[in-house]
Structure 1
Amino acid sequence: MKQFITLMALGALFLTGCNAPKKEAVVADKASNEKNVKIEFTGADNVIPKNAKLKVNLYGVPANLADVPASLITEKEYTQEKIPFTIELPVPNNPEGLIKPEVKKGDPVKYYITINWDSNGNGVEDKGDIVIDYDKKFPTIDINEETQQIFLKASK
């Protein structure tokens, strides 16, 4: 019985790890002729961040595979003192090449944004911080479009 419980716990741990995004940071190299994606963050009315520093992450995942972790394509820190705001996020020339498992040329890829922002300045990301509003729209972006819009809200 003890072995069965151990195997179940290991199985649950394995499945949890499979769905988490990989944190292999590959920061875009400015000398590589990267392109920029313009992202407009809107919403979170009447919220003024006490801590203006935030990090924006761009992840990619093969669109035709289920239950694979997303790969970190690029990340960049910004300073913003009010909402709405617009940033330009650098994207490397070959973002598909950074995705694991490997994406073949022509295979569909989905990209999405995450943010890390201790906007209330208490040292941890928790209640009251500014987060992506997944209820309005999932933060999927098209890296070939002009301006993308991401909705924000204060977490509850």
Structure 2
Amino acid sequence: MARSRNFQLTTEEARADPDVVKESFVVNEISSMVLFDSGASLSFASLALSKRFSGTPGELDFPLDVEIADDRTVRVARFYRGCTLRMFDEQFSVDLVPIPLRGNKAIVGKDWLSSNGKVIDYELQLVRVRTPSGGEIVIPGERPQRGLILCSAARARHYFEQGCAR
């Protein structure tokens, strides 16, 4: 029996957690909160999100025990292969295992991150990903608001060129 660990955070907890990089993207044409977590062995989707997927889930090679909130463990045996994760103008394929999470959420884990040349900078709340077309996108995660944030015109132009416009 394989084990995986996942933590269920509220939106407020995720915003305050320096080890969580999250951003809104589209999963299978559904607006979703996507959390990038290099500590998760697989990638997951909330039950609410996965219920909206078309198609039938496949079977995992073996059941997986996933630790979620309150030290509870759920056993999962199904997954959705080849879901579409759209970030900016790029589309990526990701396999998602449905688990109990609040809202329309996806957790992108090591399985996807390692195959897409990721670099996660938790301090700066950034994820760098190699695109299918050979380029790179920089995903700025949500950061806790700490008052007024100023940005120079040169830095703003750099962010726009990197595809980080909000």
Measured against the shorter chain, the TM-score band is under 0.3
Q: Work out which of the two has the higher radius of gyration on C-alpha atoms and give 1 or 2.
A: 1
Superposition TM-score, scaled by structure 1 size: 0.27
